[in-house]
Chains A and B, each alone.
Chain A
């Protein structure tokens, strides 16, 4: 795969002279000869993929001024790769294309798993961060009195919709991403991202429960989010209006569920009181009958 992606690599199979010339006129990698060539004059016959070394050497063998950690570099590559996802899917090809736009060798895709897991997790993490920032800003506006506090059901609807809308540019390839997120080695990370997103939404919705409701609320919202996401995959209506209507109905159901639970509890309490009253009445009636 890597061979196909890096034409200059193939060019290196040719003669040294040809290589020197082609290197001067390198097309996509012309901008920086960092990872590919440590010296303009000497060439390696085999280009090893540069492993996860954080510092690069520029053309004079100088250390790059703005030292960047490996993690930051990986984030940059993955962010750049997102642009190519609609075309290549969540694959190493997209990562390689992203690396190339940053002026790196396509071989940089070798830093990541070949199934595109990190790209998807990076995207999800980015979306969650955007959502948190959005909710934080909305909260600030409400605190400053510049906006009305939304009722819970509307807040949840808007938050879920805002988060799902971030998938729209990648919607064609999202089913693929969902199935990759369900792979056993990805489940801890994807579950972690999902639960912290849901917790964030409830936090900004003003949830202050400290009893078992904490769990039921989050479980319910997770269910709403996941089912709405699946509906969105199948939706072909203009601007996904069917999906938003589905979301509205599910949130309304959830609100009703809360009310129903309360009603069941009050009914239960009333029944218990009725039975206690009946028991007291019967026990009072007994002695008087014995007297007669």
Chain B
């Protein structure tokens, strides 16, 4: 009877990316890319409804920053040869629907959605920063810098949302909990699929 199964080392052809914890980096970049893509669509949905209202410029400015974030992650995705999540078309629609739906509840509704999403995202970025710091702060310096910067931007959006009376939105706590649950699910799926 032949000896037990032999495992052959799969030749890694990803030169130049040696020494990195590929699974961890893959997940981080994939989920962050999906997150920024979703945030873009959420703001697009909000603008579609509230673009001509008084909060239009505020939302537009936050949207512009998210566009920059997405651009950065597109570059990182190509540089680290990470595959995007299959669910992108789904986040495309879901994000827009969430943005438009929350905006239909009024300006405060839109701000409540922003607060919920941005809080989820900054918590998520924080845990990624922790992970990378535990791995090797030197090796992942560039990535850490990017994520820290983006985390600060998202926190700023969160604060802007609060400033614009997010907490006065109809059913604020229910809305916030529901949206944050959705974000958690989206993060879980995008990391893996």
Q: Is the CB of B84 within 8 A of A214?
A: yes
Residues of chain B from 57 to 77 with CB closer than 8 A to chain A in the complex: 73-74, 77
Chain B residue with the shortest CB-CB distance to A193: B10
Residues of chain B from 9 to 59 with CB closer than 8 A to chain A in the complex: 9-11, 13, 15, 33
Assuming the contacts A210-B33, A210-B78, A214-B83, asked whether A196 and B6 have C-beta atoms less than 8 A apart, the reply is no
What chain B residues lie within 8 Å of A129 (beta carbons)? 11, 13
What chain B residues lie within 8 Å of A75 (beta carbons)? 8
Chain A residue with the shortest CB-CB distance to B87: A212
Main secondary structure of the interface of A (DSSP, over half): helix
What chain A residues lie within 8 Å of B11 (beta carbons)? 125-126, 128-129
Q: Is the CB of B81 within 8 A of A203?
A: yes
Chain B residue with the shortest CB-CB distance to A131: B13
What chain B residues lie within 8 Å of A71 (beta carbons)? 8-9
Contact of A112 among B6, B83, B89 (CB under 8 A): B6
Contact of A196 among B10, B33, B73, B89 (CB under 8 A): B10
Could you say which interface size class chain B belongs to? 20 to 34
Contact with B along A162-197 (1 / 0, CB 8 A): 000000000000000000000000000100110010
Q: Is the CB of A113 within 8 A of B2?
A: yes
Interchain Cβ contacts within 8 Å, total number: 61
Listed residue (B2, B10, B78, B84) with the most chain A CB atoms within 10 angstroms of its CB: B2
Complex Cα spacing A125 to B10, Å: 7
A52 beta carbon closer than 8 Å to chain B: yes
Chain A residue with the shortest CB-CB distance to B82: A210
B88 beta carbon closer than 8 Å to chain A: yes
Please give the number of chain A residues whose Cβ is less than 8 angstroms from any Cβ of chain B in the complex.
34
Complex Cα spacing A54 to B42, Å: 58
What chain B residues lie within 8 Å of A92 (beta carbons)? 2
Contact of A110 among B2, B8, B15, B88 (CB under 8 A): B2
Assuming the contacts A110-B2, A110-B3, asked whether A210 and B10 have C-beta atoms less than 8 A apart, the reply is no
A74 beta carbon closer than 8 Å to chain B: yes
Q: Is the CB of A122 within 8 A of B8?
A: yes
Complex Cα spacing A189 to B10, Å: 9
Contact with B along A105-121 (1 / 0, CB 8 A): 00000111110001001
What chain A residues lie within 8 Å of B3 (beta carbons)? 49, 51-52, 110-112
Complex Cα spacing A38 to B5, Å: 26
A25 beta carbon closer than 8 Å to chain B: no
What residues of chain A have their CB less than 8 Å away from a CB belonging to chain B?
A: 49, 51-52, 71, 74-75, 92, 110-114, 118, 121-122, 125-126, 128-129, 132, 136, 189, 192-193, 196, 199-200, 203, 208, 210-212, 214-215
What residues of chain B have their CB less than 8 Å away from a CB belonging to chain A?
A: 2-3, 5-6, 8-11, 13, 15, 33, 73-74, 77-78, 81, 83-84, 86, 88-89
Known: A111-B2, A211-B88. 6 other contacts (CB 8 A): A49-B3, A111-B3, A121-B8, A125-B11, A129-B13, A210-B84
Q: Which 7 A-B pairs have the closest CB atoms?
A: A132-B13, A210-B74, A129-B11, A208-B78, A210-B77, A110-B2, A118-B6
